[in-house]
């Protein structure tokens, strides 16, 4: 078990598909981690105290460093716990590019499919929150459209599933061969979401025999070892530590950023989300880190991916 400086604290709720992706990575790496349960719906004051306003799930904390977005979380896990690797082949660059598609277009399509198929059965508050977050201001119209075009949405899902099934049809255990990789987790969570939350998911997926075998192989990996933690203990943990993130801006920054600038960071989509404000601490092609101070958490560094996020100068 790691000490309190390096212990991985994971803020999530069990039904969250994006969190399932990270839990699979915990499993591949055989990690012991602390699980903080967060609410499924805002407000989430004990989470946003740490992030400065970012409300999505999951968030990872290590001491006073807060990692937002599974892209950033997975990269940090690979950096801190390189063995066993989640990049077992030489195609790392291509795998990161492909994962931007699984987490972007493919995940969005799955969300539309699942929300659309649930239609009027969705809890009102949940529909309002997720509708606005994922479908935009005219979410009620988009939800009705999705509900009216479910066979089309299923056809859009069937093509990538058939490609995955073909990839696995030589009997390999995982997408890249005998070793599980990040890309397995990055596809698996979408399939997990579809199977678990779309009433027709299990019968739809039954067509893809090798894919179903692969789902079993991923489930066998497990989630590592989770030990529950109280949200207030996570906040105290941040307060008693200093952030470990390095400071600096890598060369060729397209926004000409510099350390200490006042900036905001937010997902680059129209989700109605609160930007996170603070001082720029670090930026390179993949990552941006904001430093912020608040009474309850002290000084924290909040890490975001650069891809998919918008930085604005204040």
Which is nearer to ligand GSH, 70 or 287 (by Cβ)? 70
Question: If we measure between CA atoms, which residue out of 233, 193, 237 comes closest to residue 36?
Answer: 233
Pick between residue 148 and residue 285 the one whose CB is nearest to ligand GSH: 285
Count Cβ neighbours within 10 Å for each residue of 54-69 and write b for 16 or more, e otherwise. Answer: bbbbbbbbbbbbbbbb
The CA-based angle 87-91-92, given to 5 degrees, is 50
What CA–CA distance (Å, rounded) separates 5 from 244?
Answer: 9
Q: Give CA–CA dist 265/245, Å, rounded.
A: 17
Residue 35 or 165 with smaller CB distance to ligand GSH: 35
If the CB atoms of residues 9 and 168 are measured against ligand GSH, the closer one turns out to be 9
Among candidates 214, 125, 122, 124, which has minimal Cα distance to 164?
A: 214
Instruction: Tell me the residue number closest to ligand GSH, measured at CB.
Output: 56
The answer to whether 239 and 230 have CB atoms below 8 angstroms apart is no
Which CB atom, from 65 or from 69, has the smaller least distance to ligand GSH? 69
Instruction: Determine if 57 is a binding residue for ligand GSH (CB under 6 A).
Output: yes
Is residue 194 a contact residue for ligand GSH (CB under 6 A)? no
Site residues (CB under 6 A) for ligand GSH, limited to 36-55: 55
What angle (nearest 5°) sits at the alpha carbon of residue 72, between those of residues 300 and 181?
145
Among 65, 103, 184, 291, binds ligand GSH (CB under 6 A): 103
**Binding flag, residue 186, ligand GSH (CB under 6 A):** no
Instruction: Give residues with Cβ within 8 angstroms of 101, minimum separation 6.
Output: none
Asked if 70 is part of the footprint of ligand GSH (rule: CB under 6 A), the reply reads yes
Stretch that binds ligand GSH, among 63-71, 77-85, 141-149, 170-178 (CB under 6 A): 63-71
Residue choice 69, 81, 157, 188 for contact with ligand GSH (CB under 6 A): 69
Residues that bind ligand GSH (CB under 6 A): 16-18, 55-57, 69-71, 103, 133
């Amino acid at each position: 078990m790691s000490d309190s400086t390096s212990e991985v604290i994971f803020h999530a709720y069990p039904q969250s598909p994006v969190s399932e992706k990270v839990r699979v990575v915990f499993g591949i790496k055989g990690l012991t981690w602390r699980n903080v349960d967060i609410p499924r719906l805002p407000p989430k004051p004990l989470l946003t105290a740490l992030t400065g306003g970012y409300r999505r799930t999951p968030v990872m904390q290590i001491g006073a460093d807060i990692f937002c977005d599974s892209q950033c979380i997975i990269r940090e896990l690979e950096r801190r716990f390189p063995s066993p690797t989640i990049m077992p082949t030489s195609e790392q660059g291509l795998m990161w590019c492909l994962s931007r598609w699984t987490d972007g277009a493919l995940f969005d399509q799955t969300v539309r499919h699942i929300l659309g198929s649930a239609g009027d059965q969705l809890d009102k508050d949940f529909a309002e929150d997720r509708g606005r977050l994922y479908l935009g201001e005219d979410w009620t119209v988009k939800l009705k459209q999705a509900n009216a075009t479910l066979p089309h949405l299923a056809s859009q899902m069937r093509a990538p599933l058939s490609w995955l099934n073909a990839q696995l049809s030589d009997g390999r255990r995982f997408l890249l061969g005998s070793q599980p990789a990040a890309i397995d987790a990055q596809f698996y969570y979408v399939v997990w979401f579809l199977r678990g939350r779309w009433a027709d998911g299990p019968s739809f997926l039954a067509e893809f025999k090798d894919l179903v075998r692969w789902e079993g192989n991923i489930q066998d990996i497990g989630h590592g070892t989770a030990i529950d933690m109280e949200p207030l203990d996570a906040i105290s943990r941040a307060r008693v530590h200093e952030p470990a993130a390095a400071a600096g801006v890598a060369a060729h920054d397209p926004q000409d950023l510099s350390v200490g600038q006042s900036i905001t960071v937010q997902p680059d989509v129209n989700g109605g989300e609160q930007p996170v404000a603070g001082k720029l601490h670090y930026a390179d092609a993949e990552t941006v880190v904001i430093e912020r101070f608040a009474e309850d958490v002290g000084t924290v560094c909040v890490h975001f991916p650069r891809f998919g996020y918008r930085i604005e100068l204040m």
